[in-house]
Amino acid sequence: MSLINYASREINCKIVYYGPGLGGKTTNIKYVYSKINPGTRGKLITLATELDRTLFFDFLPVDLGTIRGFKTRFHLYTVPGQVFYNASRKLILKGVDGMVFVADSQIERMEDNIESLKNLHENLAVHSVKLDGIPFVMQYNKRDLPNISSIEELENAINQTHVPSFESVAIQGTGVFETLKEVSKMVLRTIG
């Protein structure tokens, strides 16, 4: 749930990027961070292992200006992709306002995408949240690689509820802001 602080006139919203390990979650956050005006962003906190994977989360408050007299901030998080860190995933999902599922488009990663999406449903259930009850978008990352599933195959396998979906090449920034903009708009509609 969005946190509304009437004293400071602030609305804080939490968006979590979820998906299989090395699928592009951290790359999305780092790209957004690199392109946002330094005056409107907070500190990017990355905790990584020796394999350059996110261990806990990235945190990036994005200031979106004022809505109805309230300053609006989005806090962007990623979860660790490895199953080993499932407890951290559950913790990061607490209080989520919107979700971005970053799927790896490579053919050989389809099972990982399916397993990660199943894990997302299970971990949200711990907080009594259903995915169809919160703003949710799909991002099909790594579209620049030669060994990728078609959009139709990805849609059939992991987007059976037909949420908005975006093609991306996060390392180049393609589709990154389009994805963030859509989930942000969806979250703001739930507040207003």
Q: What is the mean predicted confidence (pLDDT) over 2-17?
A: 85
Half-sphere exposure of 179 (CA within 13 A, CB side): 31
What per-residue confidence (pLDDT) applies to 55?
Answer: 45
Q: What is the mean predicted confidence (pLDDT) over 70-88?
A: 82
What per-residue confidence (pLDDT) applies to 50?
Answer: 59
Give the model's confidence band at 59: pLDDT under 50 very low, under 70 low, under 90 confident, else very high.
Answer: low
CATH label, 3-191, candidates 3.40.50.300, 1.10.357.140, 3.30.565.10, 3.30.750.200: 3.40.50.300
CA atoms of 52 and 70, how far apart (whole Å) = 37
CA atoms of 177 and 186, how far apart (whole Å) = 14
Rounded to two decimals, the pTM is 0.92
Contact by Cβ (8 Å): 139, 28: yes
For the stretch 82-107, pLDDT in tens is 766 788 889 899 999 999 999 999 99
What residue ranges do the domains of the chain occupy? 3-191
Q: Could you identify the residue written with the tokens 């602030």?
A: 10
Of residues 44 and 56, more confidence is placed in 44
What one-letter code names the amino acid at 132?
D
